[in-house]
Structure 1
Amino acid sequence: MNDDRHRPLADRMRPRSLDEFIGQAHLLGPGKPLRVALEQGRLHSMVFWGPPGTGKTTLARLFARTANAEFRTLSAVLAGVKDIRAAVDAARRQREIDGRQTILFVDEVHRFNKAQQDAFLPFVEDGTVLFVGATTENPSFELNNALLSRARTYVLKALDAGALRAIIDQALEDRERGLGDRGIELAPELRDRIARAADGDARRALNLLEIAADLAEAEGQGARIDEAVVNEVIAGGVRRFDKGGEAFYDQISALHKSVRGSSPDAALYWLARMLDGGCDPLYLARRIVRMASEDIGNADPRALSLCLDAWDAQARLGSPEGELALAQAVVYLACAPKSNAVYSAFKAASADARRYGSLEVPLHLRNAPTRLMKELGYGHRYRYAHDEPGGYAAGERYFPEEMPETRYYEPVDRGLEQKIRAKLERLRALDRKARGE
């Protein structure tokens, strides 16, 4: 019988060697740099970046064990500068006593502010400690460049269902640390369901398995975990979705690019993923309206109205009823003709507005509501377009005098912009004729 039954199954089953570690083959496969470093005990500072339950803490512990180094851990949520200094002092004493290197493992290192990161940077530089950080957020945005430059970043991936199934099987068979001595019966298809429900997180998979085993015993089923127990345990499970974090922006990017790429099915999938993960539907409504202007534009002006209506429906009905309107809008956008002509034109015009500064409005374009303004030439020789042939003042100039006439808007040859393009070409031909060009 294991003496540590009070410890969670996920903690008891933490791999003790590389041979027990499941997943991350891109880092730990034969000949891969991280595996070679671990096997040879080559110490260097590093950052493990990946979703929860992918083995960041475990790898840090394995690193310390294989290198025979002291392992000290800090939580960036709880630790302050005082705690950092205490850990550094302990590392210095350890090296003086037996010459052993100390690995300072900082969990959730993205929570450290700049002052906290700066506090231990000198001790990383002089070798007092080896820094190993774990983060679920993009280190490029969360860690100081000085710290990043002294640590190698390893990207851990969410575990696939096959790896999670192997971890579940391992826990069910292990008699020393797992559930093997309890003789748990769990059908293969139910093991697969737990693996899928864990959504890439080994810790979650083992927690679900342990809860299911305990629940089965509590309900008098002994060691047999049936479908009803599994359903109860995995009900209400949430997918990996970090509001405001890396996964959040990756998914909204995938939704936007699927719309732009005219893939209604993929766009629906990413919309459903974000809603399923708890994203605010009104945030999605705002982003969908943006897509209508940025990627469809005047190729189909109805897209913007439809998206605004979808936003209104979501605001009025709430979820889940309003979500169908968002889905309708996303599918419409994905299927609509695409044009970023207005988006590109507006960016270019904005750049010129900054470049040229506060140029004067030409006199002929100014209103002249007073006699003095008329005497000063305001509105003089302005050509009222409705009085011109075809309702167009051919050859007229509307840009500031000090600025060259610039063509920003180039309609694409798709959707309504086909007609807009033809009209603008006809009007420009009239301008050239009127100017004798």
Structure 2
Amino acid sequence: MPSSRSSLLSDLAHLLRWTLLALPVALLAGSASAFFLWSLERVTEAQWQHPGLLWLLPLGGVAVGFLYHYLGKGSDKGNNLLIDEIHQPGGGVPARMAPLVLLGTLVTHLFGGSAGREGTAVQMGGSLAALLARWLRVAHENRRLMLMCGIAAGFGAVFGTPLTGAIFAMEVLVIGRVQHDALIPVLVASVVGDATCSAWGVHHTVYHLDVAPTAGTHASFDAVLLLKTALAGIAFGLGGRFFSELTHRLQRGFAKVVPYAPLRPALGALGVIALVHVLGTRDYLGLGVTPPPGGQVSIVTSFQEGGATPLSWLWKTLFTSVTLASGFKGGEVTPLFFIGSTLGHVLGSVMQEPVALFAALGFIALFAGAANTPLACTVMGIELFGAHYAIYFAVACFVSYFFSGHSGIYLSQRIGVAKRSVLAVPPDTTLREARELTRRADAGE
């Protein structure tokens, strides 16, 4: 009995300690995300009001490129640096990552680059968590938990999805395996981070998914709809894989054409400007949550009949891959929401199902495939759209995850359980290493 009581007290002390450590991380990350989202709205409005700013995109990209080149000290690795530090601590996460990625992302959006916001919020959260860990002299082996708290708080706050943020911080590290050792700290961090962001008066976009009337709290089982959802999940997985591989290959291509890194964004900016003029639309610039003045396609419109064109998903893929691969800062996730929701819109129309439902499926499932986080994305669907179609959310996300293969937007992810048994990889192999092994096997080396 005494040993049981001692164990209980030890568990309570551990819980209290990590709650107290997670709180300041969450408050800082939530506040930073609130300022970032407010600033992002201002620069987006400026871009809309002054379309000519697009012509300055090459100069803005080069300016940020020089900042990262001379002051970054590894910050340019972004989310991959955080994942690497959690798995195998090395040089640490520099405190300068937070202001650099904030400035870099705002410049990208001010001048019209196509990028997201998740990367910025996560990197700010991780950078602030690392800074707090150093100030509080947290033991080296516990700093990984602090970094995970920063990721959870940043993700949960920037999208208004606290449960998703907590699961994402654990699931994104290792493909096929979720480590629960940080369960309570990341949950506290994500919930408090989201609450802090909301307390600053920041509001998140509400997506309307009309739910068919039914007597229960969840949609009745429909075998045909479930089959269509699985087929759509295959398309979402392939779409996520296409985005990831295109971005990585363009990144290598830019590096070959322009060896000097600070100048690469200029080439990417010229590509974005060319795409705007070839297509004759600005719908694919910026976040894409709502359409620009006079625009027709966005994430919000994809939930409506006629709110996307058959190739909207492809154009957003090209715009975003060119922007990020050339060195501009921002995230991939919101563009992936755009790509997934517009692709889902098209699939819903083809399959003669509600476009809003398939836009919602694409919204979460394409991200699930590209980030290898099916659990987090299923929960995101429930947090954003309600639990009515939870079964369909899960099917779309898990099928997408499987068919995206061993690719992804975060090359520092480790492979815990291979998606296919034919891929023989050593323990803790990163996606980057697995892709190289696959390339060599295909080449017969």
TM range (shorter): under 0.3
Q: Which has the higher strand share?
A: 1
TM-score, structure 2 as length reference = 0.21
* Structure ID, larger Rg: 1
TM-score, structure 1 as length reference = 0.21
With a CA cutoff of 8 Å and minimum separation of 6, indicate the structure with the bigger relative contact order.
2
